[in-house]
Amino acid sequence: MSAGVSGIAASERRTGRTRRRLLIFAGAAVVLSAMHHADHVIRGNHSGWPFQAEVTPFTFSLLIYALILPGIYLTARGYKIAGYHLFVAIVGLALLGFVHFVPLGDYEAPIYDIYMVYGNPLAGLFALVVLAGLITSVALLAVTALGALRVRS
């Protein structure tokens, strides 16, 4: 086997690994996001339409699925869209960080609004672990997408 063919095979393996990682981290983000949205509905605070009458930031946060699901589909089909994944991850991290950690107005304080609401330490801890897992999966999606873009250029 020549060096050129070996290089192509290594590149294809790297592309396959990157594609799998993008799918794993984006898929994990969808699952954890759905769990976190369900947590909002179960807690009954910081929720909104379609589960309550008023439109709130929660309502707009549901649009993240319209961003991330097409990326998962296209990546699974073999399209190289690391830039798209990076965009979705940056938007997701900005929204997660702003809504949960910037103390403006009616922000969602993780300890008070998530953990304390349940009155059960295990349920509150589970809700915090879901939020931490969501942030971690979106951050890993961003890192993986950025790495894929750097390899391509």
DSSP 39-62: HHHHHTSS--TTTSSS--HHHHHT
**Domain total of the chain:** 1
Mean pLDDT of the region 117-136: 93
User: Residue 70 in 3-state DSSP?
Assistant: helix
13's tokens = 């393996």
Mean pLDDT of the region 136-153: 93
State which residues form the domain around 107: 3-152
Radius of gyration of the chain (CA): 18
- In this prediction the pTM is 0.87
Mean pLDDT of the region 72-81: 96
